[in-house]
Structure 1
Amino acid sequence: MDKTKLSESDICDKFIRPAMEQAGWHGFDQIYREFPLRAGRVSVRGNKAHRDLSTVLRADYALFYKANIPIAVVEAKDNNKPMGSGMAQAINYAELLGVPFCFASNGDGFVFRDATLADGVLEKNLTLDEFPSPQDLWDRYCAWKGWTPAVRQVAEFDYAPSKTPRYYQINAINRTVEAIAQGQNRAMLVMATGTGKTYTAFQIIWRLWKSGAKKRILFLADRNILIDQTMVNDFRPFKGAMAKLSPNAKGIETVNAQGQVTIEEVDLAVNKTTKLVDKSYEIYLSLYQAVTGTEEERNIYKQFSPDFFDLIVVDECHRGSANEDSAWREILTYFGNAAQVGLTATPKETQDTSNSDYFGEPIYTYSLKQGIEDGFLSPYKVVRVDLDKDTFGWRPTQGMTDKHGHLIEDRIYNATDMNRKLVLEQRDEVVAAKVTEYLKATDRYAKTIVFCEDIDHAARMRQALANANADICKDQPRYVVQITGDNAEGKGQLDNFIDPEKPYPVIATTSKLMSTGVDAQTCKLIVLDQNIKSMTLFKQIIGRGTRLREDLGKTWFTILDFKRATELFADPKFDGEPVQIYQPKGDEPVTPPDELTGTPGMGDPLTTGQPDPLADPFAAQAGGYTAPGAGSDVEPKKYVLGGMVTVAVARERVQYLSADGKLITESLRDYTRINLAKQYDSLDKFLQAWNDADRKAALVEELEKQGVLIEALAEEIGKDLDPFDLLLHVAYNQPPLTRRERANRVKKRNAFTQYGPVARKVIDALIDKYADEGIATIESNDVFKVQPFTQMGSASELVKCFGGRPQYLGALQTLERELYAAKP
């Protein structure tokens, strides 16, 4: 057999896999072919998104021990390449999976890289018969880890049968199980919103519980919806051994396969009448609020002995449990002998609050940037809208009073004051109009969250948005709702808002209540009309849009920013490791960074002593106009001005994530020119590449992968321009022609007289199709499957009128040369 004539796939099937099976590796539980690592980055282009298949990563083989711990990767190449030519790829994949063993092969043998240095050699060559056995690699792996037999017994325990975890979930699960098995009692996982923290927690609990390492487990969260979602989704396999610690729960609303709403009964551990806890369960889920309170009888957790639980998992641990003196921390302290695992997307590090001080440094971190890069999270684009009164400020005239008769303090009011100290009612109308304008231009029913300054502002925005969308709201009053801590009716709509099957509500106005823990999977628009200086809060808010649901048409989201809050994206700390600046009680305090504490005087809870919305979402939120009685000297909380002060848009711009994960800050034209110059440093080189390309659409796709935003350019400059003209005009300052103008030029030349009448009719139709839809359409293999070609005959018949497919392709190339010919 001549190996050099075999494909890479044949090399795998005929030589590599047989060698592994001969060594004792077997089945789908140990040998994973084409193991997925990265799904491929999703890029936003205009109002569309596509997955860049060039960024997809799959290991040719991933080798697992007992189906849950990856220990090696194998990269294959065809036999025309050297045996070790795939080693660089294998090392990259091994780093992602956190494994020490790599193999590269071309079918002649293997290059084996052993980072454990068990034999004192990093790399060596092996014959096909010398591939190491599973036990050999596992023994090396365990020695490298320093595991005792007791640790191995826990670490080797299988996952719960379910979907295959992603590579970062495998890392998070295995590292946590390993740490707990080795006796570590505090651990923190930092995983971006939408990356499956709850599923990761489920697998950690399952393996520790089933292996016998931990027998009684408590899962804590601070939102009822987090508990309910967890019980009916990821934690469902625990049913029968799992109960909810809630004296008032009635059931969990779910949607079945037919889209019908049902109430699923749940096992409750607390008797509603006696408030006594049933201690026969092994896994308990609870709200902090459900088991604690200022009155002793509400402290249900004290019905358990301090040693009852041996594992506690804390969801969203950046919230109340991060505060040393909070009532919620009392639970963790009470069960202080239990192993405790904290889960968060945003570790909280301030002068007074520290996750890392309590849980320790993160045992594993998977960031938003990495999630977008890997293609597991939605990318975003930013629409920055600067309003004139925010940007340039506003000063009242002498003696000016607000609509309630209060004398307005004479000073300049700017963006910081809006909706905190000064309410301009027309500003609400302008913001509502811009939000509505965007939705009308994209998707009128895209789930939208509008983050307002406070409850009062959220109420006004609900009204302004209802008026701006009166055509829908007159029949569908729940199109726009206010969901804030004080609004029982609005909170009752939260489940409907996050349910992809429920069309209403579409727009939710909120302050802090929806900033965290709300699994809004199909949220496509986040509106920022709130002063945000806390990096923790900003990350949480952005996290509401990062979930990727391609099956539901959610592949990206937009941030409509009225407050310049998205400038925080440029802060290195946005996607960096948390820095501990916490000072224990009694120590000399240090000044926290501005981005964590907020600007003094802006009402940030970390500097003013107001209730921390991230610690207690139901705390009183700042705001709400309270008009003092007649003749009162009490200064109003806010000055309110109606139509006497006009507000207008001063500037608007769109920003996109670039190929390196940063928001484009230059103008779109400058950004295009710079990126195109990286590929073609002169007009002649670009023209040569364009003319030489067999398929112009393929060249356009390649340019888009390199960061040239064709669709965004078309929206800004002209949708009826060909990509060729867009790039000529923007990058090389050439006057553009529309597609229709190029098509008419070709028709006037009468360049296809050598073809018969049917072929000329096809060419005329192709020219018209180009004018209407562009070059990609006429280059498509399916172009003859649409009108008007279907009326002319079948695809094969139309090709035959040119003499065959080669002749048709030649005619198409001639047409393209004519389309892009220089002006006569």
Structure 2
Amino acid sequence: MPSANQTPENQARDLIDQKLYQAGWDIQDKNAIDFNASLGIAVREYQTDAGFVDYALFVDRKPVGIIEAKRDEEGHRLTVVEEQSREYADSKLKHINNQPLPFIYESTGKLTRFTDRRDPKPRSRLVFSFHRPETFQEWLTQPKSLRDRLFDISELDPSKLRNCQVTAINNLEQSFRRNLPRALVQMATGSGKTFTAITAIYRLLKFADAKRVLFLVDTKNLGEQAEQEFMSFVPNDDNRKFTELYNVQRLSSNYLAKDAQVCISTIQRLYSILKGEPLDEAAEETNPNEMVQPRQPVPVVYNPRVPIEFFDFIVIDECHRSIYNIWQQVLDYFDAFLIGLTATPDIRTFGFFNENVVSEYTHEQAVMDGVNVGYEIYTIETEITKNGSRLIAQEFIEKREKLTREKRWTQIDEDITYTGSQLDRDIVNPSQIRQIIRTFRDKLPEIFPHRQEVPKTLIFAKDDSHADDIINMVREEFNEGNDFCKKVTYKAKEDPKSVLAQFRNNYNPRIAVTVDMIATGTDVRPLECLIFMRDVKSRNYYEQMKGRGTRTLNHDELIKVSGSAPSAKTHFVIIDAVGVEKSVKTDSRPLESKRSVPLKDLMMGIMMGATDTDAYTSLAGRLARLERQVTSEEAQKVQELTQGATLGDIAKALLNTCDSDVIANTAERDYQTKNPTPEQLESTQENLSRQVSSLFTGQLIEYLDKVRQVHEQYIDTHNLDRVIYAGWNQEQQTQNETLITDFKAFIEANKDEITALRILYNLPYQQRPVTYRMVKEVLDILKKDRPHLAPLRVWQAYEQVEQVNSQPINELTALVALIRRVIGLDETLTPHENRVNRAFQAWIFHKQAGASVKFNEEQMQWLRAMKEHIISSFALEREDLDYAPFDSMGGLGKLYQLFGDEMEAIIEELNTALVV
């Protein structure tokens, strides 16, 4: 290590030497060159015809590059010396008739810039350290550099891709060709971000000959989901699956396979690999944004097992929450292009990716394009949710242990006043939960008209204890069994993956309750309803949670699990039971106030290397309180898990890392000096932090979290809640009115262009009826140009605005009724089949009003069958009589036998009287 007594120049050289050694280079003086010593040789002060270069780099005896060394204080001027570096690289080395050298570094030892002169427009870039000799050897066997090969990527085949995906991939590849190091892909949840990323990765591997790509996630769950998508991906230009073409490794240990072209890893695991430390699997179940963030992160150092050039590209999933603080070091370490994927970027995200947004595809655009479905908001407000309540002193109140659910009665000494925000943590009011669930049950016919089963519904709970209360209440209020409603959390006794698969694919469960596990990143396409029984303060997190409902699903797939669904999934409903829509949102999860950070998250953060003083003192206080509450059996279990340390010992060790006197005394002892230097004090504090963080394991954290949950909460059965409002919120009404206005504008704008509209607008003068093909033409144009005006969605808007309670048979019949309502043929929204039935009755009455026509029962049977055909197909044509159901009734011949020469007139009259 450099010494404080050295000159700045020598300090820089020592740091450079150290980094070169780490990267596999042998450093030699110009008068003692030995090419047999190593594949890569860095020769100091090598003479060129432009002067002495600080370091000349040789690989397998051949010169490949140079290093221009500068003092640390000149770090900000490294780009200024690039001309000098280029002159050395262009010069002739003494004794060698070399060509210009391709690789150039400028370095202070702390800051290093690198230029690959083989690139189309060579541009220096910051690198964490030096590249390995083997890397240069491999690069030089290739006719082009990676950045040059990016121009060889063929034109994208847009088939099987959405327009937003085509735009994202084309713009991303253009960004690569411009040699921009970071790019952000912003695509709405449900629009296919992962599929887009895998398509781009496939093209990079195939056409640009990328060596290795990292797909970085922040939870184990998302890693498993990404692996499944790689396994099922089949490119347009090959019938084989991605995993048959390229090796894909999802990291579940610290082993990195060198023959894997794609590695899937959590950012936590990769951080632990770079630090050379094992990782407890529990650390991969919580996204880093939920952990305590350190003020001074434990730095990543060079790891020869994973050199900086190990990955050419890094794709960061959910990048809005996993690229900051301690975790950014993982990204800064690698000399790779960075591609961020997110549906909900914030200001920090845009800044990190240098405002290079290659795709901006919002939820609103996705809804307009029919890629996503929109949502409607239904509010349930109860008195206790809004105002809280009070328990009166001297009353006997039930108390319950959160974990065991064991109950006991106690008499309280003083009044306990609680707010709505305290519900389900300190105090549970069963009536409040019951009123929300009961209102949801009773209002289902209003929220989802004409449905025979409960639509697939996801309820967000505050914690596992709250989730259990909700599940029990749902089963009771809906009078259903265990399969009807289940919990999907990491702590569920039943395998959460199995429950999630059932929720996606089976009839039951109809309702799932979760805390965080499927709040983000998990697809449940049949999901049609989200109930928020917990508030959410993070704007991004709330958008991610809402995104669970945005996925589209066609009618055939939806009715597999929701048999009475009238059509494809057209929207989803958010039921706001806690005021989540109105609460103030921040750009990120508030983690500064450690009082609001869950105990588990504090422990996870410190296990992962957080050195935030507030986190240490806050955790110390909580563990000290917990020690006074635990039983002797629980205390003994803690000592078993920590190899002898008590909760008090851990609390003391946490405080010692923040106590300047303890740090000074420890440094004096360890370094045997009365006056430790600032560096020694800092090193001592780091050692103390490392020692205490090593006490925390996933097993200990899980156990302490369970012990915490054992502690009791009051059950308020004295104060009964009541619903003070249940209905669509005002914003929803405005959205419905806007939707209706947009639909009217579309119909008016196309009244002279589309045949069906032209006929309907010109009634009663036009005698030609509207046919199935004409209505289908209108529907196809809507789907192509105005997908957000899906007929069933507009129908629902009319239902809410005009208080209509009816259900169309399908999209086509809905569309005819909507058009008639818009142009004034019907005063109220009237289902097509209702109107046809009434018109049929009127026609029969008119035909039989005179004595000349009396239909017998067999004729009436045929007329009713013809009417039913017109309801679904809008018209009856002669050839239709050869098919079901008419063929089984005798077909065209039987109809002629019944009506004789009047047959043609009957068909025409029915078409005219019933359709228009």
| The two structures share one fold, judged by TM-score above 0.5 | yes
Paired amino acid for 2:154:
D
Code of the residue aligned with 1:645 in structure 2: it is N
1:234 aligns with 2:243: no
Alignment correspondent of 2:463: 454
For residues 806 and 200 of structure 1, what CA distance do their matches in structure 2 show?
A: 56
The alignment partner of 2:319 has SS state of: coil
Partner of residue 382 from structure 1, selected from 362, 367, 376: 376
Q: Report the CA distance shift for 1:484/1:676 in structure 2 as closer, same or farther (over 3 A).
A: same
Q: 1:642 to 1:556 in 2, by over 3 A?
A: farther
For 2:579 and 2:882, locate their aligned partners in 1 and report how far apart those are by CA, in whole Å: 48
Q: Which amino acid aligns with 2:308?
A: P
CA–CA distance in 1 between the matches of 2:228 and 2:557?
A: 19
2:258 aligned residue:
279
Matched, 1:719 2:794: no
The 1:788/1:407 distance shift into structure 2, 3 A limit, reads: farther
Q: Give the number of the structure whose alpha-carbon radius of gyration is greater.
A: 2
Shift of 1:542: 2.0
Aligned to 2:213: 217
| Cα root mean square deviation, aligned | 5.5
> Does structure 2 retain, via aligned residues, the 8 Å contact 1:802–1:808?
no
For 2:329, the equivalent position in structure 1 comes to 330
Identity of aligned residues (%): 17
Match of 2:352 in 1: 357
The equivalent position to 1:562 in structure 2, one of 568, 572, 576, is 576
Residues 227, 264 of structure 2: 8 Å contact kept: no
SS in 2 for 1:309: coil
Tell me whether 1:523 sits opposite 2:517 in the alignment: no
| Residues 172-227 of structure 1: CA deviation (Å, up to 9, x unaligned) | 11221221233211111111122221222122222223334632221111233234
Q: 1:690: how far off? A: 6.2
Structure 1 residue 152 displacement after superposition: 7.5
Q: Among 571, 596, 606, which residue is 2:586 paired with?
A: 596
The equivalences for 1:375-774 within 5 A come to 375-377=370-372, 379-382=373-376, 384-389=378-383, 393-396=387-390, 399=393, 402-404=397-399, 405=410, 406=412, 413-414=419-420, 416-419=421-424, 422-435=427-440, 438=444, 442=451, 444=453, 446-471=455-480, 473=481, 477-487=482-492, 489-493=494-498, 496-497=501-502, 500=505, 505-550=509-554, 552-553=557-558, 555-563=569-577, 567=581, 594-597=584-587, 605=591, 610-611=596-597, 640-654=714-728, 663-665=732-734, 691=764, 695=769, 709-710=794-795, 716-719=803-806, 749=846, 751=848, 753=850, 762=859, 766=863
Please point out which of 175, 192, 205 is paired with 1:196.
192
Q: Secondary structure at the match of 2:517?
A: coil
Distance 1:677 1:778, change over 3 A: closer
| TM-score, with structure 2 as normaliser | 0.53
Q: Which residue of 2 aligns with 1:312?
A: 314
What do residues 449-484 of structure 1 show as CA deviations (whole Å, max 9, x unaligned)?
A: 21122332222212222334554x3xxx44432222
Which residue number in structure 2 is paired with residue 344 of structure 1? 342
Report the counterpart of residue 288 of structure 1 in structure 2: 267
CA offset at residue 486 of structure 1? Answer: 3.5
- Secondary structure in 2 aligned to 1:798? helix
| 1:246 and 2:225 are equivalent in the alignment | no
Displacement of 1:524 in angstroms is 2.9
1:169–1:672 distance in 2 versus 1, CA, 3 Å: closer
Partner residue of 1:169 out of 150, 159, 165: 165
Structure 2 equivalent of residue 9 of structure 1:
none
Q: Is the 8 A contact 1:533 1:595 kept in 2?
A: yes
Contact kept in structure 1, 2:384 and 2:432, CA below 8 Å: no
CA separation of 1:729 and 1:564: change in aligned 2, threshold 3 A: farther
User: What is the CA deviation profile of residues 604-661 of structure 1, one whole-angstrom value per residue up to 9, with x for unaligned ones?
Assistant: 55766645999999889x99xx9x989xxx9x999644543333444433589xxxxx
CA distance in 2, matches of 1:530, 1:779: 52
Q: Is 1:181–2:177 an aligned residue pair? A: yes
SS of residue matched to 2:345: coil
Any conservation in 2 of the 1:713–1:726 contact (CA below 8 Å)? no
Q: Is the 8 A contact 2:467 2:514 kept in 1?
A: yes
C-alpha contact 1:521 1:549 (8 A) present in aligned 2: yes
Structure 1: 5+ residue stretches without partners: 1-141, 143-147, 248-269, 569-592, 657-661
Q: Classify 1:214/1:802 alpha carbon distance in 2 versus 1 (closer, same or farther; 3 Å).
A: same
Describe the SS at the equivalent of 1:229. helix
AA matched with 1:652: A
- Residue 403 of structure 1 aligns with an amino acid whose one-letter code is E
Change (3 A) 1:409 1:345: farther
SS in 2 for 1:717: coil
Distance in 1 separating the partners of 2:333 and 2:518: 30
Flag the 1:748–1:387 CA change in 2: closer, same or farther, 3 A: same
Task: Give the 3-state SS of the residue equivalent to 1:561 in structure 2.
Answer: strand
Of 366, 369, 376, the match for 2:361: 366
Q: Distance in 2 between matches of 1:755 and 1:677?
A: 48
Q: Residues 560 and 367 from structure 1, CA distance in 2 versus in 1: closer, same or farther, beyond 3 angstroms?
A: closer
Deviation at 1:341, TM superposition (A): 0.9
1:227-261 deviations in Å (ceiling 9; x for gaps)? 432332238424464242534xxxxxxxxxxxxxx
TM-score with structure 1 setting the length:
0.58
Q: Shift of the alpha carbon at 1:398? A: 5.1
Instruction: Report SS of the residue matched to 1:459.
Output: helix
May I ask how many residue pairs the two structures share in their alignment? 586
8 A contact 1:291–1:298 mirrored in 2: no
Contact 2:449 2:807 survives alignment (8 Å): no
**Secondary structure in structure 2 of the residue aligned to 1:532:** coil
